[in-house]
Homo-oligomer: A and B are copies of this chain.
Amino acid sequence: MSPNLDRRSERSRQAIIEAAMALCREQGLARTTVEEIAKRAGVGKQTIYRWWPSKTAVVEEGINELAGTATDFPDTGDLLADLRTQMAGVASILSSPLFAPYLSLIGAAQDDPELAKSFLDGLVKPRVNAARDRLKVAQDQGQLRADADLDDVVELLYGPIYYRALLRTRPPSPAQVDELLRLAFAGLTPIR
């Protein structure tokens, strides 16, 4: 019924993911076809369909491998510094052609509830949890407002970065992160 994982060809698996990511970078996910991926990977279409339900699932796996630990959270004891480091990494990623398939994936998820779910569970939640954990430590240390809900804080900090990337107003950047952190921590209320 379901295929035997032991007999799976690792060579083909990697070739498929790499081909999918490359094509996705060149033309976007929408214009990338399973046939092209198969051809570029030197693989039969069936081998793709045997192990993934769709091209988006392939790209999801590719993104997951690519992201790896790149967005891990540091803990130097200084929250602001750590946020600056990590968020600058996120901003770089979201403006990098290497990670363009990531934005395509978020795009595709808008019309694909299953993809949305696996994307949320597999890519977003783990990283949000890590962020929340780091914030919790800082909050306990008095480096963060005690009455702030940590999910709200995560949204406040990362929302603006994704906003730029997804609405294409301007690319996210480390400079944005600096200003963003300054504003978010100081608050918009004018100094009296």
Contact A156 B160 (CB under 8 A): yes
Q: What count of chain A residues pass the 8 Å CB interface test? A: 54
Residue pair B180, A185 in contact (C-beta under 8 Å):
no
B107 adjacent to A111 (CB under 8 Å): yes
A28 contacts across to B, CB distance below 8 A:
110-112
**A5 contacts the other chain (Cβ, under 8 Å)?**
no
Q: Which residue of B lies closest to A181 (CB)?
A: B188
- Contact (Cβ within 8 A) B188 A184: yes
Question: Cβ of A43 < 8 Å from any Cβ of B?
Answer: no
Find the B residue at minimum CB distance from A170: B151
A139: nearest residue on chain B (CB-CB)? B190
Q: Pick the residue among B128, B160, B169, B186 that contacts A169 (CB under 8 A).
A: B128
Q: Which A positions have Cβ atoms within 8 angstroms of B?
A: 27-31, 103-104, 106-112, 116, 119-120, 124, 128, 142-146, 148-149, 151-153, 155-156, 158-164, 166-169, 176, 179-180, 183-191
3 closest Cβ pairs, A-B complex: A187-B187, A107-B110, A28-B111
